[in-house]
């Protein structure tokens, strides 16, 4: 194989694995599964599209809910404001 053939194969492989690369950059929790889906079924257009859509799917999001009525600064928790 000459140098141009190896370069072409390397570029083709990188393009083939784009769904997995995207999932790695997005730190997708299913990056391993996306890799195997892309590797085994990516040769079919449907498998490659499925892996691409999956790599762009939502990742875990941490949601912090703050209740302004709870905590040590609220009047019901203050010993000085309680009736005797």
Q: How many helices (H) and strands (E) does the chain have?
A: 4, 0
Residues 34, 19 contacting (CB under 8 angstroms): yes
pLDDT in tens, the chain (84 residues): 789 999 999 999 999 999 999 999 999 999 999 999 999 999 999 999 999 999 999 877 777 888 777 655 555 555 555 555
Q: What is the reported pTM? A: 0.66
Rounded to 10 deg, the angle between the 45-55 and 31-41 helix axes is 170
Rounding to the nearest 10 degrees, give the CA dihedral for residues 14, 18, 23, 24.
20
Provide the residue count of the chain. 84
């Amino acid at each position: 194989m000459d140098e141009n053939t190896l370069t072409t194969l390397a570029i083709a492989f990188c393009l083939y694995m784009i769904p997995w690369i995207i999932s790695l950059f997005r730190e997708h929790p299913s990056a391993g599964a996306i890799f195997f889906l892309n590797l085994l079924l990516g040769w079919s257009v449907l498998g490659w599209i499925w892996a691409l859509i999956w790599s762009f799917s939502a990742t875990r999001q941490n949601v912090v809910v703050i209740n302004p009525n709870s905590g040590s600064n609220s009047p019901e928790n203050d010993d000085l404001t309680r009736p005797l």
